[in-house]
Amino acid sequence: NALRFFNVYGPGQKIEAYYTSVINTFIQRIRSGQAPTIDGKGEQSMDFIHVTDLAKSVVAALESEHDCKPINIGTGIDTSIATLAKILIQALGANVEPIFVPRDVLVTRRAADITRAKNMLGWTPEITVEQGMTELVKAALEQG
């Protein structure tokens, strides 16, 4: 099967990785007492999938006897950048509010259709964005 991974994140992620850079930037700013800055209203969204859930999907695909078809691996939930900022602020226990920079932004919304993953692989994600991001923050704090 051909697995299509959406926005993968988790402990050990590279700071400069394109899809995780917004997470890392927000964490760094919040940790230093600064508010995360968001272009527009923060309505643009991504489907963040935890690396542990992704690994389980790969195992399920390897064990699957279905014909090769593209299968989306995500949560099926789009998390807006504004929501992501709030989740990270809460996980860090910070007393800051996001700063919204008025700017014309192309609002894109991405959520994976994981129907095939459920039906063909018997796989569903188990880690919510709130749980996963909190775990990520704890790992970041432990690393210093």
**Average of per-residue pLDDT across 18-42:** 87
> Residue 129 is part of which domain span?
2-143
Burial 14-49 (b: 16+ CB within 10 A, else e): eeeeeebebbbebbebbeeeebbebebebebbbbbb
Q: Would you say residue 20 has pLDDT above 80?
A: no
Find the CATH number of the domain harbouring 116: 3.40.50.720
Using the predicted structure, report yes or no on whether residue 37 has a pLDDT greater than 90: yes
pLDDT tens string 106-141: 878 889 999 999 999 999 999 999 999 999 888 878
CA distance readout (Å), 124 to 60, 103, 109, 132, 133 = 10, 37, 21, 15, 18
- pLDDT tens digits, 52-105: 999 999 999 999 887 778 999 999 999 999 999 999 999 999 999 999 999 888
Answer yes or no: pTM beyond 0.85. Answer: yes
Domain count, the chain: 1
Q: Cα–Cα distance between 47 and 72 in angstroms, integer?
A: 11
Per-residue pLDDT band for 15 (boundaries 50, 70, 90) equals low
- pLDDT at 17 (0 to 100): 61
- Predicted confidence (pLDDT) at residue 42 exceeds the cutoff of 70: yes
Predicted local distance difference test score (pLDDT) of residue 92: 93
